[in-house]
């Protein structure tokens, strides 16, 4: 308990970077990105302006962008020590590895299907 | 040689020279981060399995045909993404109220923390209610673990494909959808319970006595993670 309050004191300066104004700003960015996704899915794709093959990568990029804003600002990771940020972000490489392995593998499953 | 001894005796102050946490974060918060990392692996495994099965399938249920109703209203057709859009905004908003609770905690403002926490809990319940409606709707259409709508009804959900292929992938879709959104919904549910416990603690003045609202920050991390997962579930089930 005593260490907890001590540590918090230590951090206070860094955490003030997440002010109310900034919270609202990030919330608006997240809402705007979601709105863009809806515009693509509800208007641009059905009207044939954007083919679905081009829309899908755009969705994924926008999703990763939203993930960045949530982790960096809402979860404060941007304001933590670099060591902690790396300890959390570097293991994500395993997830990318699994994506590569299984997408490659799934091309072979096609032949096993009806 | 004599200089080497004096160098060892020198007190080092760099982050990794020991004596204090190089991360400059309290123990419980680091552990929350590593728990969330492990949870991210679990969700990734589920979503990547979904992706691999979908890549290898000849046909797959079209999202804008499966999710085109607004459960709980009379709109049954032609409104794709509307309901899930509402759910997404509810979860983003409850994430915002959570981060505002954390911000109020830094200022040790008990009243504000309670207000934002209660709003966060309400947002969580609203999301769970929407998810219950969504599940109920799909269940009524015939989707469930181990069951699909009849072959005739299934045609409506696909853009072509043989009846056999449609039946197979509709089953895969149903299993994956209920497992992944169910696992996410379970996280939302536990998050709501944890938020309620923390709100009660705040009301009882536990964190005023402790001198810090760090606990609000830790459950905040969990709640934002739940929102983060939903961002991915939303993209891969409803958009792609």
Pair B101, B222: CB distance under 8 Å: no
Asked which of B77-81, B98-102, B113-117, B232-236 is least confident by mean pLDDT, the reply is B77-81
Burial class (CB in 10 A: 0-12, 13-18, 19+), B142: middle
Amino acid B2: pLDDT: 54
ipTM for this model: 0.89
Cβ contact (<8 Å) for B214 and A4? yes
pLDDT tops 80 at residue B221:
yes
Q: Where are the alpha helices (DSSP H) in B142-162?
A: 151-154
End-to-end Cα spacing for chain B? 67
Cα–Cα distance measured from residue B132 to residue B140, given in angstroms and rounded to the nearest whole number: 12
For residue B150, pLDDT over 50 is answered with yes
CB B113 within 8 A of CB B101: yes
pLDDT at B42: 97
Q: How many CB atoms lie within 10 A of CB B167?
A: 17
Q: Cα(B148)–Cα(B154) distance, rounded to whole angstroms?
A: 8
Does pLDDT of A6 surpass 50?
no
Note whether A8 contacts B214, CB cutoff 8 Å.
yes
Strand partners, B193: none
**Residues B30-58, mean pLDDT to the nearest whole number:** 96
Distant-in-sequence, close-in-space partners of A25: CB < 8 Å, separation ≥ 6 = none
Q: Which residues of A touch B168 (CB under 8 A)?
A: 113-114
| Alpha-carbon span B219 to B238, nearest angstrom | 28
Contact flag A92-B40 (C-beta cutoff 8 Å): yes
Collect all residues of chain A within an 8 Å Cβ-Cβ radius of residue B83: none
Distance from C-alpha of B168 to C-alpha of A59, rounded to nearest angstrom: 27
The pLDDT of residue A96 is above 50: yes
Q: Which pTM does this prediction carry?
A: 0.89
- Mean pLDDT, range B33-55, rounded to an integer: 96
Residue B11 pLDDT exceeds 70: yes
Is pLDDT at B196 greater than 90 in this prediction?
Answer: yes
Close Cβ partners of B19 (under 8 Å, ≥ 6 residues apart): none
In which band, very low, low, confident or very high, does the pLDDT at A10 lie, cut at 50, 70 and 90?
Answer: very low
Sequence-separated (6 or more) residues with CB below 8 Å from residue B214 = A4, A7, A8, B26, B28, B29, B105, B207
Question: Which residues, 6+ apart, have CB-to-CB distance to B159 below 8 Å?
Answer: B59, B62, B65
Domain ranges, ordered by start, for chain A? 2-80, 81-114
Which contiguous run of DSSP H or E holds residue B173? helix B163-204
Higher pLDDT, B49 or B79: B49
Nearest CA in chain B to A40: B239
Superfamily of domain B24-239: Cytochrome c oxidase, subunit III, four-helix bundle (1.20.120.80)
Q: Residue B19 has what pLDDT?
A: 78
Going by C-alpha positions, the residue among B236, B219, B232 that lies closest to residue B97 is B219
Helices (H) and strands (E) in chain A, counts: 5, 0
Nearest residue of chain B to residue A5 (CA atoms): B212
Of A67, A83, A98, the CB nearest to B45: A98
| Band of pLDDT at residue A7, cut at 50, 70 and 90 | very low
Residue among A10, A83, A106 minimizing CB distance to B55: A106
For residues A71-93, give the mean pLDDT.
Answer: 93
Predicted confidence band of residue B51 (pLDDT cuts 50, 70, 90): very high
Chosen for mutation from A3, A7, A46 (greatest number of chain B CBs closer than 10 Å) is A7
With cut-offs at 50, 70 and 90, classify the pLDDT of residue A11.
very low
Q: What is the pLDDT of residues B100-137, one digit of tens each?
A: 999 999 999 999 999 999 999 999 999 999 999 999 99
Q: Which residues of A touch B34 (CB under 8 A)?
A: 87
Above 60 in pLDDT, residue A3? no
Q: What is the pLDDT of residue A9?
A: 44
- Whether the pLDDT of residue A1 is over 70: the answer is no
Interface list for B 109-128 with A (CB within 8 A):
none
- Under an 8 A CB cutoff, do B100 and A11 touch? no
Residue B12 DSSP symbol:
P
Please tell me the distance from the alpha carbon of residue B47 to that of residue B180, in angstroms, as a whole number: 8
Contact A10 B231 (CB under 8 A): no
Average per-residue pLDDT for chain B: 92
């Amino acid at each position: 308990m005593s260490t907890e309050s001590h540590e918090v004191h230590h951090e206070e300066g860094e955490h003030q970077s997440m002010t109310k104004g900034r919270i609202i700003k990030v919330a608006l960015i997240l809402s705007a990105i979601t709105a863009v996704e809806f515009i693509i899915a509800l208007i641009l794709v059905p009207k044939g302006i954007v083919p679905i093959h081009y829309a899908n990568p755009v969705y994924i990029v926008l999703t990763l962008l939203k993930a960045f804003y949530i982790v960096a600002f809402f979860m404060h990771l941007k304001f933590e020590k670099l060591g902690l940020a790396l300890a959390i972000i570097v293991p994500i490489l395993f997830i990318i590895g699994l994506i590569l392995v299984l997408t490659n593998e799934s091309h072979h499953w096609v032949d096993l299907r009806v | 040689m004599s200089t080497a001894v004096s160098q060892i005796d020198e007190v080092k102050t760099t982050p990794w020279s020991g004596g204090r946490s190089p991360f400059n974060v309290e123990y419980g918060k680091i552990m929350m981060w590593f728990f969330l990392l492990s949870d991210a692996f679990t969700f990734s495994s589920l979503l990547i399995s979904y992706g691999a099965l979908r890549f290898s399938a000849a046909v797959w249920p079209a999202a804008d045909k499966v999710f085109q109703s607004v459960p709980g209203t009379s709109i049954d057709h032609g409104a794709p993404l509307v309901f899930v859009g509402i759910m997404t905004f509810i979860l983003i908003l409850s994430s915002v109220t959570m981060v505002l609770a954390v911000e109020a905690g830094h200022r040790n403002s008990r009243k504000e923390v309670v207000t934002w926490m209660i709003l966060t809990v309400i947002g969580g319940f609203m999301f769970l209610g929407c998810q219950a409606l969504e599940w109920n709707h799909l269940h009524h259409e015939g989707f469930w673990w181990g069951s699909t709508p009849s072959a005739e009804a299934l045609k409506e959900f696909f853009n072509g494909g043989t009846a056999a292929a449609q039946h197979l992938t509709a089953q895969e879709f149903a299993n994956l959808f209920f497992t992944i959104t169910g696992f996410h919904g379970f996280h939302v549910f536990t998050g709501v319970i944890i938020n309620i416990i923390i709100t009660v603690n705040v009301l009882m003045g536990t964190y005023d006595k402790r001198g810090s609202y760090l606990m609000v920050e830790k459950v905040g991390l969990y709640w934002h993670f739940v929102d983060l997962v939903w961002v991915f579930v939303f993209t891969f089930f409803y958009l792609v």
